[in-house]
Structure 1
Amino acid sequence: MSDAATTPDAVRLGDEGTPPAGDLLSKFDALIAERQALLDTGVRDPYAIVMEEVLSPTAAIISGRETILLGTYNYMGMTFDPDVVAAGKQALDEFGAGTTGSRVLNGTYQGHRECEDALKEFYGTSSAIVFSTGYQANLGVISTLAGKGDYIILDADSHASIYDGCWLGNAEVVRFRHNSVEDLDKRLGRLPREAGKLVILEGVYSMLGDIAPLKEMVAVAKKHGCMILCDEAHGMGFFGEHGRGVFEEAGVSDDIDFVVGTFSKSVGTVGGFCVSNHPKFEVLRLVCRPYVFTASLPPSVVATAAASIRKLMHAGEKRAHLWKNSRRLHQGLRDLGYTLGTPTAQSAIIAVIFPDQETAVGVWQALLELGLYVNMARPPATPAGMFLLRCSLCAAHTDEQVGQILEMFATAGRAVGCIA
Structure 2
Amino acid sequence: MATAGNNPLYQSYAEELEHIKKQNSFRFFKDIERDNEGYIKLATQKMGLMLDLSSNDYLGLSFDQQLLEEFKETYGLPLHGLGSASSRLLTGHFEEHAKLEGLMTEAFGRAALVFNSGYHTNLGVLSALADERSLIVSDELIHASIIDGIRLTKAQRQRFEHQDYKQLEQILIQAQNNQDIDKVFVVVESVYSMDGDIADLRALVELKNKYPKTLLYVDEAHGIGVFGERGLGVAEEQGIIGKIDFLVGAFGKAVASVGGYLICAPVIREYLINKMRPLIFSTNLPPVNAAWTFFTFKKMLGMRQERESLRQLSVNLRQAVLDKGLDCPGQSHIVPIVYGANQLAVNKSLAMQEAGFYVLPIRYPTVPQGQARVRVSLHAALTWEQLEPLLAHC
**Fold conserved between structures, TM > 0.5:** yes
1:37 deviates by 7.1
Measure the CA separation in 2 of the matches of 1:326 and 1:154: 27
1:38 deviates by 4.5
Q: Are residues 291 and 271 of structure 1, via their aligned partners in 2, closer, same or farther at CA, if it must alter by over 3 Å? A: same
Q: Which residue of 1 aligns with 2:155?
A: 171
Report the more deviating stretch, 257-266 or 327-336. 327-336
State the aligned residue count: 383
Q: Which residue of 1 aligns with 2:18?
A: 32
Larger Rg computed on CA atoms? 1
1:66 deviates by 1.1
1:364 deviates by 0.7
Measure the CA separation in 2 of the matches of 1:183 and 1:278: 32
1:201 deviates by 1.7
Measure the CA separation in 1 of the matches of 2:69 and 2:149: 32
Contact 2:86 2:283 in 1 (8 A): yes
Contact 2:36 2:63 in 1 (8 A): no
Measure the CA separation in 2 of the matches of 1:85 and 1:387: 40
Measure the CA separation in 2 of the matches of 1:53 and 1:256: 38
Contact 1:340 1:351 in 2 (8 A): yes
Give 2:146's match in structure 1, choosing from 162, 170, 195.
162
One-letter code aligned to 1:182: K
Superimposed CA distance per residue, residues 375-406 of structure 1 (whole angstroms, 9 cap, x where no aligned partner): 32111211455101111100011232122333
Contact 2:340 2:370 in 1 (8 A): no
Superimposed CA distance per residue, residues 313-341 of structure 1 (whole angstroms, 9 cap, x where no aligned partner): 11110111000111111112222332212
Gapped runs of 5+ residues in structure 1? 1-12, 40-44, 414-420
TM (norm. structure 1) is 0.85
Give 1:372's match in structure 2, choosing from 357, 364, 384.
357
Q: Are residues 134 and 223 of structure 1, via their aligned partners in 2, closer, same or farther at CA, if it must alter by over 3 Å? A: same
Q: Which residue of 1 aligns with 2:31?
A: 50
One-letter code aligned to 1:123: F
Q: Are residues 325 and 134 of structure 1, via their aligned partners in 2, closer, same or farther at CA, if it must alter by over 3 Å? A: same
Superimposed CA distance per residue, residues 192-230 of structure 1 (whole angstroms, 9 cap, x where no aligned partner): 255122111210000000011221122112211211111
Q: Which residue of 2 aligns with 1:61?
A: 41
Q: Are residues 244 and 37 of structure 1, via their aligned partners in 2, closer, same or farther at CA, if it must alter by over 3 Å? A: closer
Give 1:327's match in structure 2, choosing from 308, 315, 323.
315
One-letter code aligned to 1:400: E
Contact 2:191 2:222 in 1 (8 A): yes
Measure the CA separation in 1 of the matches of 2:357 and 2:383: 14
Contact 1:91 1:299 in 2 (8 A): no
Q: Which residue of 2 aligns with 1:8?
A: none
Contact 1:84 1:307 in 2 (8 A): no
Q: Are residues 124 and 172 of structure 1, via their aligned partners in 2, closer, same or farther at CA, if it must alter by over 3 Å? A: same
2:61 is aligned with 1:78: yes
Superimposed CA distance per residue, residues 83-111 of structure 1 (whole angstroms, 9 cap, x where no aligned partner): 35543684642322211211111111111
Q: Which residue of 2 aligns with 1:358?
A: 343
Identity score, percent = 33
2:236 is aligned with 1:253: no
More helix by share: 1
Q: Which residue of 2 aligns with 1:7?
A: none
Measure the CA separation in 2 of the matches of 1:299 and 1:72: 25
SS in 1 for 2:137: strand
Matches within 5 A, 1:132-171: 132-171=116-155
Contact 2:87 2:282 in 1 (8 A): yes
SS in 1 for 2:231: coil
1:370 deviates by 1.5
Measure the CA separation in 2 of the matches of 1:116 and 1:385: 43
Measure the CA separation in 1 of the matches of 2:240 and 2:14: 43
Measure the CA separation in 2 of the matches of 1:184 and 1:384: 24
Matches within 5 A, 1:90-109: 90=75, 92-109=77-94
Gapped runs of 5+ residues in structure 2? none
SS in 2 for 1:79: coil
1:34 deviates by 3.8
Contact 2:205 2:216 in 1 (8 A): yes
Measure the CA separation in 1 of the matches of 2:59 and 2:34: 20
Contact 2:61 2:67 in 1 (8 A): no
Q: Which residue of 2 aligns with 1:390?
A: 375
Contact 1:157 1:383 in 2 (8 A): no
SS in 2 for 1:187: helix
Q: Are residues 372 and 221 of structure 1, via their aligned partners in 2, closer, same or farther at CA, if it must alter by over 3 Å? A: same
Contact 2:218 2:246 in 1 (8 A): yes
